Chains A and B, each alone.
Chain A
Amino acid sequence: MPTRQRALLILLTLCLLAVGSFGMALMAGSLRVPPGEVLGALFGQGQDSAEIVLQLRLPRAIAAFACGGLLALAGALMQVLLRNPLADPYVLGISGGAGVGAMFALMLGLPLLAVDSLAFAGALGAMFIVFGLAHGDGSWTQTRLLLTGVIVAAGCGALVALMLAIADENRLRGMLFWLMGDLGQSTQWWPALLALGVGLALATPFARELNLLARGQMQAQALGVAVGRLRWVIYLLASLATAASVTTAGSIGFVGLVVPHLVRLAAGNDQRLLLPASALAGGSLLVLADTAARTIIAPQQLPVGVLTALIGVPVFLFLLSRQPK
């Protein structure tokens, strides 16, 4: 268990990492902008490159940071809620629901705003279906919640596959990019950033109670945690965080699963540190991954979900293989 000072030190380091990742994102691209010009642009001394930095790269980097932070936060919360280290933000079918909404809009060729709205509606729909079904008999056990979520996710997956099969050829590429996660299509960065701020502010006060919940429901309740209410709050928070991220950037994989584990490995499993640290690390990771996605084979762009998964799979396998100490 880290002391408060050590926790603050780790968070400060991660803040520096985040700043560094933003620096990379603002400099790199088909037009390389030197650091001096980036700073100049940020502080309002307009040069030629200022427009690229402020209009194109900065909003995209903020969106990436917010989505990465949201996913890592949601992943950390889901892992505690389900007491399952293999849980991720998508395990309860929220991205599946969003996927159904977004695919429907893309299949019909609706405008971007409609894609976002339908994706968000789909995410909320999946969230309420899972909650309603899992809560049915009042028991609301982890196993029941997990099974219901997995089944709803499978159903959504089938619907998505169905729509991909019947969709028009020239719309397929956009649909696939959405499914793999792509920040190039995000229209607004502020809803995700706002959601990240609100999510962190609401989750942090419960952090020590989450430490206890991770050790078992009865155990937590015996030590004075209002378990029923806490699980409600966490489920809603994690779901809304996931929905906000998926709506902004599609279902980007592995950030939500791997980042909490990386932080756990480096700094321990105290949620008071884990939640903000995961948000910062997840945000930075996604900013870097997105920068790589749009520069590796520029001017062509890769879906960022492919990169996070390509980085995430070996890291996660490595973590799993060294788990039993």
Chain B
Amino acid sequence: MNPPLIETRALRVSIGERTVIDRLDFSLAVGERLAILGRNGAGKSTLLSTLAGLRQPAGGAVLLDGEDAHLMPPREIALRRAWLGQFHNDPFGSTVLETVLTGRHPHLGRWDWETPNDARLSRSALAAVGLDGMEKRQIHTLSGGERQRLAIATLLVQAAPLYLLDEPLSHLDLNHQMAVLELFAATARDCGAGVIMVLHDPALAHRFCDRALLIQGDCQTQCGTVDEILTATRLSELYGYQLRQIDDAGRRCFIPE
């Protein structure tokens, strides 16, 4: 049997002196989707960048395909997972197509230039996020939502089997939020990709993920299926705000009281 795409063993994550996550064990199999929810500052993004091998864990280990991420060269990691950050700032000008093409970097040798095939992959990734026809645009002229979708297209051409998404819906309008979630759901279903995403909307997390991980910020975490974890009781406690739960045809929504 294949090892899980990603697995943590007694993972500890600290922000400065403060430990926010301790003894976290979970694994993600092919085609699975996991939502991470928690309050601001609880350590969601820090956990995600630790999972991506961008930060050293304060303790324990992150295994990608059964190998310790901390011992892998960055390029090897980049072939196994794609990471979407929260912030994009671009001090230098660049076109949309040039930006998407950066996603091909781990697939190219040191002296290689991007091939027509890379350009073709990039164009279809742009089309997948609804940015087709904008290849020549300068990234400075994009709106926040378009810039976010461009970052997602860059992730798609990286073509890694595991996606780590930090607030993939930020700046997106409603139809693009749904389109992006559908896109990753389809990638998980059809290509067997694993998806871990930090989300703020428990209803969308319930609809588009198989499992959820709640992060309390004080080393307490709960992980389980969305039906079991995303309940009004647990979420009210997590956010410190009373929520009412409404179930409708297998979907759930939460209304703040």
* A residues apposed to B, CB below 8 Å: 1, 3-4, 79, 83-85, 205, 208-209, 211-212, 214-216, 218-219, 221-227, 264, 268-270, 272, 324-325
Contacts and interface: CB of A to CB of B under 8 A. Distances in A.
Given A205-B110, A226-B73, A264-B92, A221 B54 contact: yes
Given A212-B105, A264-B92, A269-B93, A1 B98 contact: yes
Given A1-B98, A208-B105, A224 B77 contact: yes
Interface stretch (B81-89, B183-191, B233-241): B81-89
Interface of B: 49, 52, 54, 73-79, 82-83, 85, 88-95, 97-99, 101-103, 105-106, 108, 110-111, 113-114, 138, 140-141, 158
A222 B78 contact: yes
A85 B95 CA distance: 17
Contacts of A218: 49, 54, 83, 85
B85 A219 contact: yes
A144 B36 CA distance: 32
Contacts of A222: 52, 54, 78, 82-83, 85
A223 B85 contact: no
Nearest to B76: A224
A110 to B, nearest CB: 42
B91 A214 contact: yes
A223 B98 contact: no
Nearest to B155: A222
A211 B98 CA distance: 10
Given A216-B89, A221-B54, A226 B74 contact: yes
Give chain A's interface secondary structure class: loop
Given A4-B113, A215-B102, A224 B79 contact: yes
Contacts of A212: 102, 105
A205 B99 CA distance: 20
13 contacts: A215-B90, A215-B92, A216-B85, A218-B49, A218-B83, A219-B88, A221-B54, A225-B74, A226-B74, A264-B93, A269-B92, A269-B93, A325-B138
A221 B97 CA distance: 20
Contact of A208 (B88, B99, B108, B138): B108
A226 B98 CA distance: 21
Nearest to A142: B91
Nearest to A227: B74
Given A208-B108, A223-B158, 9 more contacts: A1-B114, A205-B110, A212-B105, A215-B94, A222-B85, A223-B102, A223-B105, A224-B105, A264-B92
Contacts of A268: 98
Contact of B91 (A3, A85, A223, A325): A85
Nearest to B75: A224
A4 B73 CA distance: 28
A137 to B, nearest CB: 12
A44 to B, nearest CB: 38
B101 A223 contact: no
Contacts of A227: 74
A325 B142 CA distance: 12
B137 to A, nearest CB: 11
Top 9 A-B residue pairs of the complex, sorted by shortest distance between their CB atoms: A224-B78, A224-B75, A224-B106, A222-B83, A1-B98, A223-B105, A224-B74, A4-B113, A83-B91
